[in-house]
Amino acid sequence: MKRYLIIKNHLAYSGFMVAGALFLLFLAAPLGNLLLSTSIPRLFETLEDEQVNKSIVLSLSMAAVATLASALLIIPFAWLMVRQTSRWKHIISGLIDLPMMIPHSAAGIALLGVVNRESFVGKIASGFGLDFVDRPAGIAIAMAFVSVPYLYNAAYHAFSSVPRKMELAAANLGAKPSKVFFSISLPLSRKGILNGMVMMFARGMSEFGAVIILAYNPFTTPVLIFDRFNAFGLRNAQAISALFILISLTVFILLRILSKPEEDVRN
């Protein structure tokens, strides 16, 4: 068992507890108020609103697309980066973190500059029948752009914690690097990576700033909340917000349960 400094019965203990309680209240009060201000019949009524319904399906499905597509590209790359000794890897990791640091609307503008219909990329994509502006594909790349650092960092840390000798042992037994990745490193990092995917999905489905720049329409739920608030005011927006928070929480808890492995991977 870990032993910690005993701080009970000290002034610091009470002081820190009060500070923490105040902060928890600050987090809980707006959410609690929002949920309490919306009655259950009102929630069901909102759920029957076709536009709301569609926006929820769109938000969840595009967050899933963004997460899965990013996972395919970024997880093997994170493994590669863990094994790099070059100092470039820190610069690359910093670059991947960048979307978390900048205003998401600015991220949306930056993305729009690259994928709009007149741009080079936009034109090539159009050639393949893929449009980003005001299209689900645009929503997915906006979500991916701002939320992928969560997945990359989680995967990076998960791969870093795989003991080096596990991979060496596999190689020694005749496994090619790709086989080492799929049969050893990936399974041993599963927990961390799944957690990262859950975080990325949750962050992606809630994205507003970058999504609204690329695709005001079709509505994702965060954009719809903004639209309803502008058109019909607080009460209308409150019901959708409450509903979306409940759905987000449910999805988040479900995915957390699913991503929890049956046993710890220790040797």
Partner 1 sequence: MLEIKAIEKHFSGFSLGPVQLRIGKGEHYVLLGPSGSGKSLLLELIAGFQFPDKGEIILNGKDITHLQAHKRSMAFVFQKPALFPHLTNFDNIAYSLHLQRINKSEVRKIVLELSERFHIDHLLDDKPARLSGGEAQRVSLARALAMRPAFLLLDEPLSSLDVQLKKELRQYLIDLNHQGLTMLHVTHDFEEAIRFADASSIIFEGKIIQSGKPSELYKTPANSFVAEMAGHKNFFTGKLLPSKNDELRTADLGGVLIKLYSDSAAEGGIFVVDEHQIILQTEASVTSAQNIFKGIVQQVTYLQKGVEVELNIGIQLFTYITRDSAKKLNLVPGQEIFASFKASAVRFLEH
Integer-rounded Cα Rg, in Å, for the chain is: 22
Q: Is residue 166 close enough to count as binding partner 1 by CB under 8 A?
A: yes
Q: Is residue 69 close enough to count as binding partner 1 by CB under 8 A?
A: no
Nearer to partner 1, 184 or 224 (CB): 184
Nearer to partner 1, 50 or 262 (CB): 262
Q: Is residue 246 close enough to count as binding partner 1 by CB under 8 A?
A: no
Q: Is residue 169 close enough to count as binding partner 1 by CB under 8 A?
A: yes
Q: Is residue 188 close enough to count as binding partner 1 by CB under 8 A?
A: yes
Alpha carbon distance 172, 153 (integer Å): 29
Q: How far is the CB of 21 from partner 1 (least distance, A)?
A: 40
Total of residues contacting partner 1 (CB under 8 A): 22
Q: Is residue 265 close enough to count as binding partner 1 by CB under 8 A?
A: yes
Handedness of CA 253, 255, 257, 259 (dihedral sign): negative
Q: Is residue 259 close enough to count as binding partner 1 by CB under 8 A?
A: no
Nearer to partner 1, 69 or 171 (CB): 171
Q: Is residue 171 close enough to count as binding partner 1 by CB under 8 A?
A: yes
Nearer to partner 1, 92 or 265 (CB): 265
Handedness of CA 155, 194, 145, 206 (dihedral sign): negative
Q: Long-range CB contacts (< 8 A, 24+ apart) of 255-260?
A: 255/197, 255/198, 255/201, 255/202, 256/195, 256/198, 258/194, 259/191, 259/194, 259/195, 259/197, 259/198, 260/191
Nearer to partner 1, 157 or 190 (CB): 190
Alpha carbon distance 207, 26 (integer Å): 22
Alpha carbon distance 222, 206 (integer Å): 6
Rounded-to-10 torsion of CA 19, 23, 25, 30: 160
Helix (H, G, I), strand (E, B) or coil at 163: coil
Q: Is residue 80 close enough to count as binding partner 1 by CB under 8 A?
A: no
Specify the residue for token string 């990325």: 200
Contacting partner 1 (CB under 8 A), which of 10, 179, 235, 260?
179
Q: Is residue 85 close enough to count as binding partner 1 by CB under 8 A?
A: no
Region 125-164 residues binding partner 1, contact defined as CB under 8 A: 163
Q: How far is the CB of 166 from partner 1 (least distance, A)?
A: 5
Q: How far is the CB of 174 from partner 1 (least distance, A)?
A: 5
Q: Is residue 83 close enough to count as binding partner 1 by CB under 8 A?
A: no
Helix (H, G, I), strand (E, B) or coil at 207: coil
Nearer to partner 1, 67 or 195 (CB): 195
DSSP state of 262: S
Binding site for partner 1 (CB under 8 A): 163, 165-166, 168-177, 179, 183-184, 187-188, 263, 265-267
